[in-house]
Chains A and B, each alone.
Chain A
Amino acid sequence: MPDTPFWAVCLVVVPLFFAIICFVRSSLVTFLGPLAAWLNALAGLGMTLSFVHSGPLRYAIGGWQAPLGINFSIDGLSVLLVAMTAVTGLSVSMYAKGYFSLRIGSAGEINRHGHQRAYFWPVWLLLWAALNGLFLSADLFNIYVTLEIIGLAAVVLTALSGKPAARLAAMRYLLVSLLGSCCYLFGVALLYRSYGILDMTALSRLVSPAPLLWVSLALLTTGLLLKTALFPLHFWLPPAHANALAPVSAILSGLVVKASFYLILRLWGEVFAQVLPFAAYVLLGVLGCGAVLWGAVQALLQKRLKMLIAYSTVAQLGYLFIALPLIRLDPGPSAREAVILLIMAHACAKSAMFMAAGSIFLKAGHDRIDDLDGIKEVLPVSSFAFVLAGVSLMGFPPSGGFLGKWLLLGVSLASGQWWWGIMLVIGSLLAAGYVYRIACHLLVFKASFSSRRGSIPPVMEWPAVLLAVLAMILGLLAGYPLGLLEAGCPVPIHACLEVMP
């Protein structure tokens, strides 16, 4: 059985290779794309299994050890996120396969040209490779390059829909992403200037409070917050996520925003945790509260299904930031575990919601919430998937969202900072509000729904159900992923000398 480094390399190399082949042989893309998705998922699985055996390690790319070369740092957090990407990515890929080969109605009505499929696959595979690369890499500048790939690919995918609104949203997304990368790069440049090192683990030992450190951290964090769309900087997210093609929306909302949040978690939770003052965490937490409130209220007010889901993403990202001060307060690992659970549950649930919404959109020809009454008659599976994902999102036991919030609540009460807990409860109530609103329209209200459009193939309906069920039972299975997390605290650099030949 191949070892962990082999799988880690596969996770980056395989999607890159298939992206190139998909571009050159674009006529085979319907076959090659899903094949690459399966191989990627396989690599994710292999990685997880071999990680369970061998534990965390560092891998020196090019044979050059950390300060000079770029290293993969494979620990529990990165393995979990890689696995999450593999599961979500595979489901979305299956959905995309059905989505692009399906044409309902005349070609003019739903304007999906053949070229959309031809370009979706290579760009999505590049994005997948960059996500894996980001989760595995330990090098700040290398992460900048992967962030650039992620940002650019996300923009290209958003614009792929070709609709004016999508183009505008993509333009705005690109400008925000440019600004974010510039800030991030500036931060990295300043860190390198004052510490002469780019490896995160090595950096975490060198840092000490200094003016230039504050400035560079402010720049790094601002850049990442722009890309994660935390509350006051979220303005670009809803139009981009709502106007993209359905599989693209699922990718953007489920995976892409998690990439930059993962980096914030790394930087604030590990690398700079020793030097950052608690007030900074509180600031992020407060912004997170704002996101929860604003996103949920906006979601309640939306008329369009996809817009609602997009605002719900803004709200759910808020929880992740509320967790940051709790991670700092918590002496044990439970706040950290909670945030991982929330990330994974949200990735599954939100992708499922966007995929189901895409099916509903295709079937109904629109996504006006008020006119969707009775859609369950024609699309029972997708409607069920949507509502199930929504229920897990609002934190109904035994979902991953429930367990995550429960853990956070416990930490906030134990640490005496109960107001964070109140925010969690309020946010959940608001989420329940918008989920019930849709559930009523989708499942409860009776109306005869007629659609002349063709049937949605099962390959588009079941991935959403699968992800929604996964999000729902994540709370029961939580022991497995959290066990991985505990196995892998970051590896000190000298340890890699023992691991590496």
Chain B
Amino acid sequence: MTDAMGIFDIMLALVLPWLGWRLLASPNLFRAVVLFISLGLLMSLAWVRLHAPDVALAEAAIGAGLTGALFLSALRRLERLRDSERRLDYAEKREEEQNLPPEKRRKSKPVAYVLALFLLSVFLLLLGGALLKTPVAPGRLGPAVAGQMGQSGVQSRVTAVLLNFRGYDTLLEVMVLFLAALGVWSLTRVRQTPQEKVPGPVLATLVRLLVPLMITVAGYLVWIGSSRAGGAFQGGAVLAAAGVLLLLANVTVVRQIPSTLLRWALVLGPLLFLLSAVACMSIGGNLLEYPRQSAGSWILLIESATAVSIGVTLAALYAGGRPHEPAAREAIVDKSADTKVKNGEGA
């Protein structure tokens, strides 16, 4: 049995870089993205082999699934843009060129490139050699975590590290996600999906069947996260997948979510996390120092809110832009500013 697993490990360890190479060398961007998704799935197999089930879940859902969906939708958007600009003939030649892999495009290899490649490979060889020579420090923080597990309020060690011992990291991490949503919203508006594009009966049934199930699974993952693999990130990813499915099926309800509600859903997790971090101080502890008896409930509360926000945020990232807000508000602000300036000029 162990031999078989050993062979499996060797194959997987070889296939991962090979796929990586193939996907970057592939002339077709669509194929590259598909290879990227399959690489993500194989990565999650590797995580399972390395006894990292939490990471495996997150990788399969976020690293492969949602990132892949983001890439595919970006690709579609790029192609649509390109199609609309086909008439610009000077661009066309470039397009042909950019679909070629870099190796074929630049036949001549300048000396600087070869030199850089050489230096890089020397560095990597050194790195590899150093990795081989240096043993992993024994134990690291593992024993420290194990020693304090009794006070963490949860049974799963990864969750304990994420939400308790290093909860501040996770707080900032949730802010990164919030920032990404802010960034995407600040850059562009969501693309209008044509009204008449209705999903087929199969997709509609699938949505009706899967979305409630996915929400249940997300809740389960958050719940089980306190004792086993799972947690806010994984649960949020499943919620996000449900959101992406709804967006794909172009369900009317999703399009009509009021923007205020969406904004509150986006910040629910970050806000609650932040407020409970501060609340811990007001009870007399440090920042994020949960009361020892009720730490489990605090963590569950934070995780649930965070999972909702992560789900909404990731789905919003997939939607790829700020929603069409009631134009009135922006217009009013603009107008008042304009009149102010005019008055100022007049005076």
A binds B: yes
Residues of A whose CB lies within 8 Å of any CB of B are 5, 9, 13, 16-17, 19-20, 23-24, 26-27, 59-64, 67-70, 101-104, 107, 113-119, 122-123, 126, 129-130, 133, 139, 141-142, 145-146, 148-149, 152-153, 155-156, 159-160, 190, 192-198, 210-212, 214-215, 218, 454-455
Question: Taking the complex as formed, is B1 at the interface, i.e. its CB lies under 8 A from any CB of chain A?
Answer: no
Contact A70 B169 (CB under 8 A): yes
Question: Taking the complex as formed, is B133 at the interface, i.e. its CB lies under 8 A from any CB of chain A?
Answer: yes
Highest count of chain A CB atoms <10 Å: which of B127, B178, B264, B287: B287
Give the Cβ gap from B165 to chain A, nearest Cβ, in Å.
5
Contact A123 B183 (CB under 8 A): yes
Residues of chain B with a CB closer than 8 A to A159's CB: 183, 186-187
Give the Cβ gap from B113 to chain A, nearest Cβ, in Å.
16
C-alpha spacing A454/B339, complex, angstroms: 12
Give the Cβ gap from A191 to chain B, nearest Cβ, in Å.
10
Contact B330 A115 (CB under 8 A): yes
Q: A70-B168, A159-B183 are in contact. List 18 more A-B contacts (CB 8 A).
A: A9-B281, A13-B277, A59-B286, A59-B287, A62-B167, A63-B285, A64-B148, A102-B337, A103-B337, A114-B333, A123-B183, A123-B186, A133-B172, A142-B168, A149-B176, A149-B179, A153-B183, A212-B134
Highest count of chain B CB atoms <10 Å: which of A60, A63, A102, A160: A63
Give the residue of B140, B164, B169, B186 whose beta carbon is less than 8 angstroms from that of A160: B186
C-alpha spacing A103/B339, complex, angstroms: 10
Which residues 259-293 in B have Cβ within 8 Å of A in the complex? Answer: 260, 263-264, 266-267, 270-271, 274, 277-278, 281, 285-290
CB contact under 8 A between A68 and B338, given known A20-B270, A115-B186, A155-B183: no
Give the Cβ gap from A300 to chain B, nearest Cβ, in Å.
27
C-alpha spacing A455/B345, complex, angstroms: 7
Residues of chain A with a CB closer than 8 A to B286's CB: 5, 59-63
Q: Mark B169-183, 1 if CB is under 8 A from A, else 0.
A: 100110110111011
How many residue pairs bridge A and B at CB < 8 Å?
Answer: 180
Give the residue of A20, A68, A211 whose beta carbon is less than 8 angstroms from that of B133: A211
C-alpha spacing A9/B169, complex, angstroms: 14
Contact B175 A149 (CB under 8 A): yes
Contact B333 A455 (CB under 8 A): no
* A457 nearest CB neighbor, chain B only: B344
Contact A103 B338 (CB under 8 A): yes
Contact B337 A122 (CB under 8 A): no
Instruction: Summarize A's interface: helix, strand, loop or mixed.
Output: helix
* A116 nearest CB neighbor, chain B only: B186
C-alpha spacing A60/B274, complex, angstroms: 17
Residues of chain B with a CB closer than 8 A to A152's CB: 176, 179-180, 183
C-alpha spacing A134/B147, complex, angstroms: 29
Give the Cβ gap from A391 to chain B, nearest Cβ, in Å.
32
Contact A24 B263 (CB under 8 A): yes
Contact A68 B144 (CB under 8 A): yes
Q: Mark B225-240, 1 if CB is under 8 A from A, else 0.
A: 0000000000000000
Question: Taking the complex as formed, is B6 at the interface, i.e. its CB lies under 8 A from any CB of chain A?
Answer: no
CB contact under 8 A between A119 and B182, given known A64-B148, A194-B134, A211-B126: yes
Which residues 177-210 in B have Cβ within 8 Å of A in the complex? Answer: 178-180, 182-183, 185-187
Contact B345 A454 (CB under 8 A): yes
Question: Taking the complex as formed, is B79 at the interface, i.e. its CB lies under 8 A from any CB of chain A?
Answer: no
What are the 4 closest A-B residue pairs judged by CB atoms, nearest first? Answer: A196-B140, A119-B186, A63-B289, A196-B137
Give the Cβ gap from A350 to chain B, nearest Cβ, in Å.
24
Give the Cβ gap from A160 to chain B, nearest Cβ, in Å.
6
Residues of chain B with a CB closer than 8 A to A101's CB: 337, 340
Instruction: Summarize B's interface: helix, strand, loop or mixed.
Output: helix
C-alpha spacing A26/B262, complex, angstroms: 13
Interface size class of B (residues with CB under 8 A): 35 or more
Residues of chain A with a CB closer than 8 A to B72's CB: none
Residues of chain B with a CB closer than 8 A to A192's CB: 140
Residues of chain B with a CB closer than 8 A to A197's CB: 140-141
Contact B172 A146 (CB under 8 A): yes
* B148 nearest CB neighbor, chain A only: A68
Contact A9 B172 (CB under 8 A): no
Contact A123 B179 (CB under 8 A): yes
Contact B264 A24 (CB under 8 A): yes
Contact B127 A215 (CB under 8 A): yes
Contact B183 A68 (CB under 8 A): no
Contact A62 B289 (CB under 8 A): yes
Contact B341 A69 (CB under 8 A): no
Residues of chain B with a CB closer than 8 A to A59's CB: 286-287
Contact B187 A122 (CB under 8 A): no
* B129 nearest CB neighbor, chain A only: A211
CB contact under 8 A between A61 and B288, given known A16-B274, A20-B270, A102-B341: yes
Contact A62 B164 (CB under 8 A): yes
Question: Taking the complex as formed, is B95 at the interface, i.e. its CB lies under 8 A from any CB of chain A?
Answer: no
Contact A107 B270 (CB under 8 A): no
Contact A211 B134 (CB under 8 A): yes
21 contacting pairs across A/B (C-beta < 8 A):
A20-B178, A24-B267, A59-B286, A61-B289, A62-B290, A63-B285, A68-B141, A104-B341, A113-B334, A114-B331, A126-B178, A126-B182, A141-B169, A145-B176, A149-B179, A155-B183, A196-B137, A212-B134, A215-B126, A218-B123, A454-B341
Give the residue of A129, A156, A198 whose beta carbon is less than 8 angstroms from that of B186: A156
Contact A193 B287 (CB under 8 A): no
Residues of chain B with a CB closer than 8 A to A17's CB: 271, 274
* B166 nearest CB neighbor, chain A only: A70
Residues of chain B with a CB closer than 8 A to A218's CB: 123
Highest count of chain B CB atoms <10 Å: which of A27, A61, A152: A61
Question: Taking the complex as formed, is B110 at the interface, i.e. its CB lies under 8 A from any CB of chain A?
Answer: no
Highest count of chain B CB atoms <10 Å: which of A26, A69, A195, A218: A69
Give the Cβ gap from B317 to chain A, nearest Cβ, in Å.
13
Residues of chain A with a CB closer than 8 A to B330's CB: 113-115, 118
Contact A156 B179 (CB under 8 A): yes
Give the Cβ gap from A113 to chain B, nearest Cβ, in Å.
8
Give the Cβ gap from A159 to chain B, nearest Cβ, in Å.
6
Give the residue of A118, A130, A211 whose beta carbon is less than 8 angstroms from that of B172: A130
Which residues 296-341 in B have Cβ within 8 Å of A in the complex? Answer: 322, 329-331, 333-334, 337-338, 340-341
CB contact under 8 A between A27 and B123, given known A16-B274, A123-B186: no
* B322 nearest CB neighbor, chain A only: A115
CB contact under 8 A between A212 and B166, given known A27-B333, A68-B148: no
Residues of chain B with a CB closer than 8 A to A148's CB: 176
* B136 nearest CB neighbor, chain A only: A193
C-alpha spacing A63/B164, complex, angstroms: 10
Give the Cβ gap from B346 to chain A, nearest Cβ, in Å.
10
* B295 nearest CB neighbor, chain A only: A62
Residues of chain A with a CB closer than 8 A to B344's CB: 454-455
Give the Cβ gap from B268 to chain A, nearest Cβ, in Å.
10
Contact A156 B165 (CB under 8 A): no
Contact B144 A67 (CB under 8 A): yes
C-alpha spacing A126/B183, complex, angstroms: 11
